[in-house]
Homo-oligomer: A and B are copies of this chain.
Amino acid sequence: MKKIETIIRPEKFQPLRKALSSIGIGGLTVTEAAGTGKQKGQTGVFRGTTFQIQLLPKIKVEMIVEDNQLDEIVSIILETCSTGNIGDGKIFVYPVEEVIRIRTGERGNEAVI
């Protein structure tokens, strides 16, 4: 199992969720976050004053999925959340060792869905 974590523009959340839902992906967790990427991470000194770095509001979406769902979900995120402009966000993929549904105690792929 994998965790797909994606940091996206807040206005892209509803389109993403709809697209995921249309392929049967319902399980996801959303958190409000803020961040900086490449551009915003650069400080510039102008006449001795360092420019302030701003944090931008972002939405973090986390989905724990079966290994064989990874590629399709990544494609959907890329299609839905890319505008071509700076700040579209990132996708991070992590290993997951165990998933358990609290209601039933089911484990593994049974518990993902």
Task: Please state if B28 and A36 are interface contacts (CB–CB under 8 Å).
Answer: yes
Task: Please state if A25 and B41 are interface contacts (CB–CB under 8 Å).
Answer: yes
A interface SS class: mixed
Task: Please state if B55 and A84 are interface contacts (CB–CB under 8 Å).
Answer: no
Known: A78-B100, A84-B103. A30 touches B33 (CB 8 A): yes
Task: Please state if A86 and B103 are interface contacts (CB–CB under 8 Å).
Answer: yes
| Copies in the assembly, this chain | 3
Known: A82-B102, A91-B99. A38 touches B27 (CB 8 A): yes
Task: Flag A27-56 by CB within 8 Å of B: 1 or 0 each.
Answer: 111111111111111110000000001010
Q: Which residues of A contact B (CB under 8 A)?
A: 2-3, 6-8, 17-18, 20-22, 24-43, 53, 55, 58, 60, 64, 74, 77-78, 81-103, 105, 111, 113
Beyond A26-B36, A29-B58, 4 additional pairs, beta carbon < 8 A: A30-B35, A86-B103, A92-B96, A94-B97
